[in-house]
Structure 1
Amino acid sequence: MKIALFSDVHANLPAFEAMLQDMDSQMPDAVYCLGDLVGYHIWPNEVIAEIRKRGIATLKGNHDEKVENLITTADSLNEQGKKYAYHLISEDNREYLRTLPAHIRLEFKLNTEKLNLVFAHGSTRSIDEYILIDTDETYILDLLQEADADLLFVGHSHKPFHRVMQAGNGRFQHVINIGSVGKPKDGDTRGCYVMLTLDNNASVINNEGIKIEFRRVAYDVETSSRSIEDSLLPNEFAQALRIAK
């Protein structure tokens, strides 16, 4: 079973299209998005349209949540600033974002053993909680137990990592931050997503049956950045793409 997971596209269509092309070449059996389709860039409707066309199961991110009480007027569409990115979103796509779920859970039974995968944007406790590579291990283990998760996949921080922790009784638990497609913050300008492979031996006591691959995908960063500078969005958003910070 091959599962592709991506997050934090942030309306960056060139990065999204490059990621989709690479992802399609991998022929995953299932695809999930962990949220933040919008914000920071000028193509939210095009990104949402492709997500909906493909029928990709998608979570609500904290930026997707910003449309819930958004009122767009003629003035707001011509107003420079960070909020402009959300006013670009069509009403139909806003309704789609409003109805996205907070979490997705998959339960596998391999060799009679249960393996639970849980997907969240920030964490299972909060849509905007940062789970980082150096987050306290005891805290993460409590979080995993609370969520009944053997593998927890998150986004939000835009900083990819895979951390394996021993939970006792010979069991291992995993937390994976899948990085960002459209706005990396780890110094690498390439988009990032994860390809998870589970074989028949995958279990909480056999890590060899669980493969996490971080795939980095190059795209035309400069063209994407200039499109921001040619819009009403702050130029700082363009520079963030160039330096991936």
Structure 2
Amino acid sequence: MKIALFSDIHANLPAFEAMLQDMDNQKPDAVYCLGDLVGYHIWPNEVIAEIRKRGIATLKGNHDEKVEKLTTTPENLKEPGKKYAYHLIEESGREYLRTLPAHIKLEYKQNDDQFNLVFAHGSTRSIDEYILIDTEENYVLDMMQEANADVLFVGHSHKPYHRVVSTPGGKFKHVVNLGSVGKPKDGDQRACYVMLTLNRNSSILDKDSIHVEFRRVEYDVEKAAKAIETSLLPREFAEALRLAK
């Protein structure tokens, strides 16, 4: 089974379209989005519309959550500011973002073995918590035990990694950060997403039986950056795309 997972589009439509084209070529059996459809860019409505058109199961990210606190009319709209990115969102899109869940859990039972995949935006404890590659191991294990997670997928930090942690019982826990489609922060401009492959021998007893592939997709970064510079958004957002920081 092939599962495509992505996160942190941040209204960057050129990056999202390029990622989707590559993803479609991979022919995944299932697709999940871990949130942050909006913020930082000018195409939130187009991104939301495509997610809904495809029926992609999606979590609420911390930027998606911000729409719940918005008033109908933005403050100081004539002045460039971060709030402008959220006030671009149409009411139907805002209502959609308000209804998104915090977590998704998939339970697998095969070969007399059971393992659980858990999806969260920041962490299973908080929508805006960073689970990094060097987050203290015991903290990660405690959190995963609390959530009954054997394989945990997160986003939020925009820095992709696959970390395998062994337990005293001889089992292996996996933590995967999907990176970011629309706003990478790892020095690589390309959109990032994950293809997860599971087979009938996949097990938490064999750390190599769960295959995680990070796919990087080129897109027109300059087009995306210039679209920011001709909007009311801060120009620093455009430079962040160019530097992938």
TM tier, smaller: over 0.9
The residue aligned with 1:207 is 207
- CA distance 1:4–1:66, change in 2 (3 Å): same
Separation in structure 2 between the aligned mates of residue 212 and residue 155 of structure 1, nearest angstrom? 15
Q: Is the 8 A contact 1:121 1:127 kept in 2?
A: yes
Q: What is the letter of the counterpart of residue 80 of structure 2?
A: Q
TM-score (norm: length of structure 1): 0.98
Separation in structure 2 between the aligned mates of residue 112 and residue 76 of structure 1, nearest angstrom? 60
The residue aligned with 1:58 is 58
The list of structure 1 runs, each at least 4 consecutive aligned residues, that deviate by more than 6 angstroms after superposition, is none
The residue aligned with 1:37 is 37
Q: Are 1:149 and 2:149 counterparts?
A: yes
Cα RMSD over matched residues?
Answer: 1.0
DSSP-derived class of the 1:209 partner: coil
The residue aligned with 1:166 is 166
| 1:78 to partner: Cα distance | 4.1
Q: Is the 8 A contact 1:160 1:176 kept in 2?
A: yes
Structure 2: give runs of 5+ residues left out of the alignment.
Answer: none
The residue aligned with 1:107 is 107
Q: What is the letter of the counterpart of residue 95 of structure 2?
A: E
TM-score (norm: length of structure 2): 0.98
| 1:79 to partner: Cα distance | 4.0
Q: What is the letter of the counterpart of residue 219 of structure 1?
A: Y
The residue aligned with 1:46 is 46
DSSP-derived class of the 1:73 partner: coil
Pairing of 1:74-85 with structure 2 (within 5 A):
77-85=77-85
Deviations 1:106-140 (A, max 9, x none): 00112121110000000000000000011000100
Q: Is the 8 A contact 2:74 2:83 kept in 1?
A: no
| 1:147 to partner: Cα distance | 0.6
Separation in structure 2 between the aligned mates of residue 79 and residue 127 of structure 1, nearest angstrom? 29
Separation in structure 1 between the aligned mates of residue 114 and residue 197 of structure 2, nearest angstrom? 16
| 1:208 to partner: Cα distance | 2.6
Determine what percentage of the aligned residue pairs are the same residue.
76
- CA distance 1:139–1:86, change in 2 (3 Å): same
Q: Are 1:22 and 2:22 counterparts?
A: yes
| 1:198 to partner: Cα distance | 0.3
Structure 1: give runs of 5+ residues left out of the alignment.
Answer: none
Separation in structure 1 between the aligned mates of residue 114 and residue 27 of structure 2, nearest angstrom? 25
| 1:83 to partner: Cα distance | 0.3
Q: Are 1:129 and 2:120 counterparts?
A: no
Deviations 1:45-76 (A, max 9, x none): 00000000000000000000000021122765
The residue aligned with 1:178 is 178
Separation in structure 2 between the aligned mates of residue 161 and residue 198 of structure 1, nearest angstrom? 18
Q: Is the 8 A contact 2:74 2:84 kept in 1?
A: no
DSSP-derived class of the 1:104 partner: strand
Separation in structure 1 between the aligned mates of residue 90 and residue 125 of structure 2, nearest angstrom? 29
Q: Is the 8 A contact 2:197 2:211 kept in 1?
A: yes
| 1:22 to partner: Cα distance | 0.3
Q: What is the letter of the counterpart of residue 178 of structure 1?
A: L
